[in-house]
Amino acid sequence: MSRKSENLAEGLFVPNEERNPLRAAVQRGAQPELPKRFYQSASVGEAEGGYAVLLDGRTVKTPARRTLTTPSSPLTTALAAEWAAQGERLNPSSMPLTKIVNSAIDGVAERLPEVAADVAKYAGSDLVSYRAEEPERLAAAQAEAWDPLLAFARKRLGAELTTTVGVIFRAQSAEATAAVAEAVRAYAGEGPEAPFRLAALHTMTTLTGSCLIALAVALGEMDAEAAWAAAHVDEDHQIRAWGADEEAMARRARRFEEMKAAARIAEFFGGDA
């Protein structure tokens, strides 16, 4: 793989517009031209820190020019499969595992306490704590999907979170939010696996608006499909009432792929609260 090809691989996932012509083109309203595939094979090899993705036998670099390496052979194999599945053009949107792992290596690894705190702060205004009083069908759907998550928080995390009607902020107790924060730290753990666990947890939290949903998936309490349904109770109610918007559903489908990728990473590493 040439130096030019390595630069191309690094630039695929860079958020900075100056270094990401794909994003720049989208923001200008143009149809971006995806870069051409520059390698024949994608495989896994041993590397310092674990296992690396190899393109034609050479390591791949993250946007920050670190080697794309994880401590998990199954995860790295899944990453290599994303690269191998690319066609004549490389489509970053079809590589959600690579996106999350890049963020783990380049961002989360150097800011573990900050990222853990960002996840835990969702407990203060978690999606599942804000309920509708009417219509009755929506209130019932919320209770069915979210009450088990509050029970999970109480029994497994030691966090007694309360609910409120409407969207006006209601503070949770310091004890409850502290318990969630401790559960997040315990799940992330220490050592080389921590950035990947935390990156996956952060992704699921921001996608669903709920750290309880994210922790439930990470700790094996529910699968990605059930979690996604729980996160979209309100939206699904609106769809039943007014119908679906095609563009919005396409965005939701893309986000679900990210959710499933994050859940896969959590499954690869496991963890206990």
The whole-number pLDDT of residue 200 equals 98
The whole-number pLDDT of residue 49 equals 85
Whole-angstrom Cα distance, residue 150 to residue 14? 37
DSSP one-letter string for 3-49: HHHHHHHHHTT---GGG-HHHHHHHTT--PPPPBP--S-EEEEEETT
Instruction: Name the burial class of residue 128, with classes exposed (0-12), middle (13-18) and buried (19+) by CB atoms within 10 angstroms of its CB.
Output: buried
The whole-number pLDDT of residue 223 equals 97
The whole-number pLDDT of residue 20 equals 44
Residue 16 has pLDDT above 70, yes or no: no
Whole-angstrom Cα distance, residue 50 to residue 189? 18
Percent of the chain with pLDDT over 70: 87
The whole-number pLDDT of residue 122 equals 96
Residue 81 has pLDDT above 90, yes or no: yes
114-167: per-residue pLDDT in tens?
999 999 999 999 999 999 999 999 999 999 999 999 999 999 999 999 999 988
What is the mean pLDDT of the segment spanning 65-78?
A: 97
Q: Tell me the pLDDT of the chain averaged across its residues.
A: 89
Q: Is residue 27 very low, low, confident or very high in pLDDT (cuts 50, 70, 90)?
A: very low
Residue 7 has pLDDT above 50, yes or no: no
CA 201 vs. chain centroid, Å, equals 6
User: Which residue in this structure is represented by tokens 């965005």?
Assistant: 251
The whole-number pLDDT of residue 45 equals 97
User: What domains lie within the chain, and their CATH numbers?
Assistant: 3-92 (3.30.2180.10), 110-269 (1.10.3580.10)
Residue 169 has pLDDT above 70, yes or no: yes
Residue 18 has pLDDT above 60, yes or no: no
219-259: per-residue pLDDT in tens?
999 999 999 999 999 999 999 999 989 999 999 999 999 99
Q: Residue 50: which of 191, 215, 174, 239 has the closest Cα?
A: 191
Say what the pTM is. Answer: 0.88
32-55: per-residue pLDDT in tens?
688 999 999 999 999 998 999 999
Residue 181 has pLDDT above 90, yes or no: yes
Pairing of strands 69-70, 130-131: unpaired
CB atoms within 10 A of CB 71: 17
Q: Is residue 30 very low, low, confident or very high in pLDDT (cuts 50, 70, 90)?
A: low
